[in-house]
Copies of this chain bind each other. A is one copy, B any other.
Amino acid sequence: MKKEIRIIGIDDMPFSFKDKNTDIVGVVMRGGTYLEGVLKSEITVDGMDSTDKIIKMLEKTKHRKQIKLIMIDGIALGGFNVVDCEKIFNEIELPIITITRNKPHMNKIKEALKKHFEDWKERWKIINNGTTEEIELRYKIYIKYFGISRHEAIESIKLATIRGAIPEPIRIAHLIATGIKKGESRGRC
Contacts and interface: CB of A to CB of B under 8 A. Distances in A.
Interface of A: 23, 25, 34-41, 60-62, 162-163, 171-172, 175-176, 178-180, 183-185
Chief secondary structure at chain A's binding surface: mixed
A40 B163 contact: no
Contacts of A184: 37-40, 60-62
Contacts of A61: 184
Contacts of A39: 179, 183-185
A163 B38 contact: no
Given A61-B184, A184-B61, A184-B62, A38 B176 contact: yes
* Integer count of this chain's copies in the complex: 2
A180 B34 contact: no
Contacts of A34: 162-163
A62 to B, nearest CB: 7
Contacts of A162: 34
Contacts of A176: 38, 176, 180
Nearest to A30: B163
Contact of A180 (B38, B171, B178): B38
Q: Which of A23, A39, A176, A178 has the most B CB atoms < 10 Å from its CB?
A: A176
Contacts of A38: 175-176, 178-180, 184-185
Contact of A41 (B171, B178, B183): B183
11 contacts: A34-B163, A35-B171, A36-B175, A37-B175, A38-B175, A38-B179, A39-B179, A40-B183, A176-B176, A176-B180, A180-B180
